[in-house]
Amino acid sequence: MTKAGIAWSAGEVAAGVAIDVEIDGARLWSEYLPEPVAGMHRLEWPRALGPSLRGSGSVAVRVPADASTIAAGSYRFAAEGSGPSLRKLVTAGTIVDKWGKLVTAASRELHRALLDGAERVIAELRSADYTVAITGGTLLGAVRVGTILDRDDDADLLLYLGEATPADVSIASYRVERLLAGFGHEVIRHSDAHLQVMLAPTESGVSAHVDVFFGYHDRGVYSQPIHVRTDLPVEALLPLTEIELGGRMFPSVADPEAWLAACYGPSWRIPDPAFSFETPIPTRRRFENWYGTYDFTRHFWEAQAKAAGPRSSARARADVRQMLRRTRRGDAVLDLGSGVGRQSRALARRGRAVTAVDFATTAIDAARGTSAGTFRVERANLAHGRAVLDLIERHGGRGDVNVLLGDVLAYLPQSSRANVFRLVRAVSGSSGTVLASFPDRVSPRYEHLRPDSWHLPLSWLQDELEPFGLEYALIRRSVRRTPVGLRRIVQVSIRAAAPHRRQEKTLMTRIRKSAARRTEATEPAVEVDRVAELETAVLELRGEIDELRKDSRRIAELYDLVVEHLGTGRSAD
């Protein structure tokens, strides 16, 4: 056993069978047995376990279908000390779930909490006349074994909207979110078609949640993000029936078996501990553009907040010094991506009126503790356009607000950065200071699923700022040691671009396009060039279609903002 993974000689068990990996006798994760290479099976440690590869103990690989052991041995890494370790994870009842996240393993107490929580959320949704039933793994457990599946750690509900469009789904999701928040729930928005309802911890501290998925028919096609898009008829859903789950009766779709086949495929009856969804690319593109993906990196940043050390980084201290030089006592500062709030605290101690904003709940809780009332703390997801509109509404009328983006921009996808620039343009006014710092070169240890290894070249930044009438000025460059190696960090200020510069850029863009068209007209057409041209056209068309799908979401965001204004008696001007 090494930090690269687990390896053992191949035996008689066929590749592709579901296996469990146990540490010190407790299951830590499940997956499929890989094909042997040079007579050896090799498993990589799940990425979420990286910080915990410490200490020593036993490891075994078993086939849960017959409880047979196909490999066993021991692991020995650096002494665990006071930090995380594999032993501490399994002792705490932690596992790696099918999404690759560290979660509390299922237990009887957790399942009771899920049954109670599902009953409560169903009653709350029904009080507003919504059509609600159990779905997903919860329905699978009810049909297969009459209770929640042993390894399930959440409850799944379907909220069926009938005939609807994607914009209808987004608008409904805002209404449902407000309804559930009104009942006292914390609601985390994964997308406009998937809300996660956090349940109060049990007496022993076990946390649970209920997932609400929106399903609907649109011109004969049934969609239920995150995975289902099929020709399932309305009669398979309605009228709702009841089904037993854990000794209680819950609402169910009319034909549970038809729904389960549509979601899990024809082999849904066969237990598969390593199952994970493989959503077809066209379906995924539709759902992601229609409804967004707002929770892609939250679990990473939750873990970072939990592991945050006691001191601010050199980069963070440099950002604070620069903001202090450019602002005065009493000036408003919006600290976006504030983490546990150290920069906010340092600025507040020097008299700035700071609002710390983050979307990781662990960071928000830590920042509230750090604040002790010296600065405000707000939770907002910069990936979610509607949440950014709320930020603009709350802070846009406070004069020229200063904005700190310390180690944030590079770790956001482009669509989220666009939301940030829209916010900056709206709140910073003519004299607000906007500071940002980020790595601008590729990390030596880049991982797609690790956002702190991402980068943002300055040329990309300028291209993305221009549509918002913004530009940047470089302040300084430095080299910092980070968890993903040495990185070059740039610190920039962002400001409104001079009108003549915006006009020049527009003119130059038109000239380049015109020149390109003339070049295309005079070059001889050859088959290879024609194929490349068609491939480019297809990609451009796909991009345009994706933008049109996003438009339905943007329309819904603006519509809901107006409706909320009217509903609370505020001006909708």
On whether the pTM is more than 0.75, the answer is yes
Q: Token pair for residue 60? A: 């075994």
Residue 518 pLDDT grade (very low, low, confident, very high; cuts 50, 70, 90): very low
Cβ neighbors of 434 (< 8 A, separation 6 or more) are 402, 403, 405, 424, 428, 493, 494, 495
Q: Which domains does the chain have, with CATH numbers?
A: 6-104 (no CATH), 108-279 (3.30.460.10), 298-504 (3.40.50.150)
pLDDT of residue 510: 52
420-450 residue pLDDT tens: 999 999 999 888 999 999 999 999 888 888 8
Residue 504 pLDDT grade (very low, low, confident, very high; cuts 50, 70, 90): low
Alpha-carbon gap, residue 111 to 11, rounded angstroms: 37
Q: Token pair for residue 533? A: 């041209």
291-345 residue pLDDT tens: 998 988 888 888 888 877 656 677 789 999 999 999 999 999 999 999 999 999 9
**Nearest C-alpha neighbor of 327 from the set 493, 166, 197:** 493
Query: Residue 560 pLDDT more than 80?
Result: yes
Query: Residue 400 pLDDT more than 80?
Result: yes
CA quadruple 23, 29, 34, 37: dihedral sign: negative
Q: Token pair for residue 427? A: 């709140």
Contact 259, 237 (CB under 8 A): yes
Alpha-carbon gap, residue 320 to 285, rounded angstroms: 40
**CA-CA distances (angstroms) from residue 33 to 2, 47, 290, 324?**
18, 18, 36, 56
Residue 459 pLDDT grade (very low, low, confident, very high; cuts 50, 70, 90): very high
Specify the higher pLDDT residue, 66 or 81: 66
Alpha-carbon gap, residue 193 to 564, rounded angstroms: 19
pLDDT of residue 522: 42
**Nearest C-alpha neighbor of 453 from the set 471, 441, 465:** 441
Q: What are phi and psi of 526, to 5 degrees?
A: -120, 160
DSSP three-state, residue 434: strand
Q: Is 36 exposed, middle or buried (0-12, 13-18, 19+ CB in 10 A)?
A: middle
82-101 residue pLDDT tens: 677 899 989 888 889 877 88
Alpha-carbon gap, residue 558 to 412, rounded angstroms: 23
**Nearest C-alpha neighbor of 141 from the set 16, 247, 22, 277:** 247
Question: What whole-number percentage of the chain has pLDDT above 90?
Answer: 62
Cβ neighbors of 185 (< 8 A, separation 6 or more) are 121, 197, 198, 199
Contact 427, 355 (CB under 8 A): no
Q: Could you tell me the strand order of the sheet in which 68-76 lies?
A: 26-32, 18-23, 56-63, 68-76
pLDDT of residue 370: 92
Query: Residue 513 pLDDT more than 60?
Result: no
Q: What is the DSSP string of 114-138?
A: HHHHHHHHHHHHHTTT-EEEE-HHH
Specify the higher pLDDT residue, 397 or 226: 226
Q: Which amino acid is at 527?
A: E
Q: Which is it for strands 18-23 and 56-63: parallel, antiparallel or unpaired?
A: antiparallel
